[in-house]
Amino acid sequence: MFFGVIFGIFICTELIWVKVSEEMSIRLRHMTKKSLAVALSAIRGFKNAIVSLEQYPTDCNIAAEVVWDAYLKGFIEGKVIADLGCGQGILGIGCMLLGAAKVHFVDVDPEVLEAARKTVALVESECSSAFFEGDVSAFKIEVDTVIMNPPFGVQSEHSDREFLDVACRLSSVVFSFHKTSTAAFVEQYARNLGFDLSERYNFSFPLKSAMAHHRRNVQHIEVSCFRFEKS
Ligand code: SAH
């Protein structure tokens, strides 16, 4: 009985991985926003979310919405991208699936970066990838587009600013998620760095209760993704 259960769990895990590989192998020519969201839905959330690093995964539909629109507007295909604070890599993997030339995955947490590396290895894409483990401020490579859902600066004050500083130093196009309530501040901050707001997407962002201090199973917060471009 015991070995039967263990074997069952093993088979289920294997089947999930086969499903992930199949979904990741959907090629660009067959992609739609919907199929992108389905492929991204195979990416796991944080196993042991670290509160101080604000490890909240982006929902697959929200990730697909932003990456798809960025692709339609010419910011992804053939471009070198950085996914700063990549977590499990959902945004960067979305870019890989939509024909990016190269994606740099950057995160300070070695465990999540390793998880991202394993998932990226399953992505069937011509896109190359690189992984940088360390604080975002130590990442120095210039790119065509930054796409990031960084910490919102709730647990670690000013971490959102640190990410914006780095993003605006490394790229002239920045897609960045922030709490909607901080929109005015974020826009002014980017303006001071020489960037104009080109577009804003508003979402009700599901935060699943991966963290002990969340009481409800899923709570929603208002989050916006901003596209900033160098003035
Ligand atoms: N971008 C992912 C994860 C968002 S959670 C997604 O959209 O799902 C924020 C991520 O930023 C976490 O993975 C966390 O480990 C990382 N992070 C937090 N502070 C960081 C820092 N100073 N430098 C680099 N990464 C950081």
pLDDT score of 228: 98
Q: Which residues of the chain have pLDDT under 50?
A: 7, 9-18, 25-26
Interatomic CA distance for residues 177 and 164, integer angstroms: 10
What phi and psi values does residue 75 have, to the nearest 5 degrees? -95, 0
Closest residue by Cα to atom 17, ligand 1, is 85
pLDDT tens-digit readout, 55-70: 999 999 999 999 999 9
Residues with CB under 6 A from ligand 1: 53-58, 85-87, 90-91, 107-109, 112, 135-136, 149-151, 159
Residue of 86, 113, 179, 203 best suited for mutating to test ligand 1, as the one with most atoms within 8 Å of CB: 86
Angle at 55 between CA 122 and CA 37, to 5 degrees: 45
CA of 195 to the centre of ligand 1 (A): 22
pLDDT score of 96: 97
pLDDT tens-digit readout, 142-154: 999 999 999 998 8
Global pTM reads 0.88
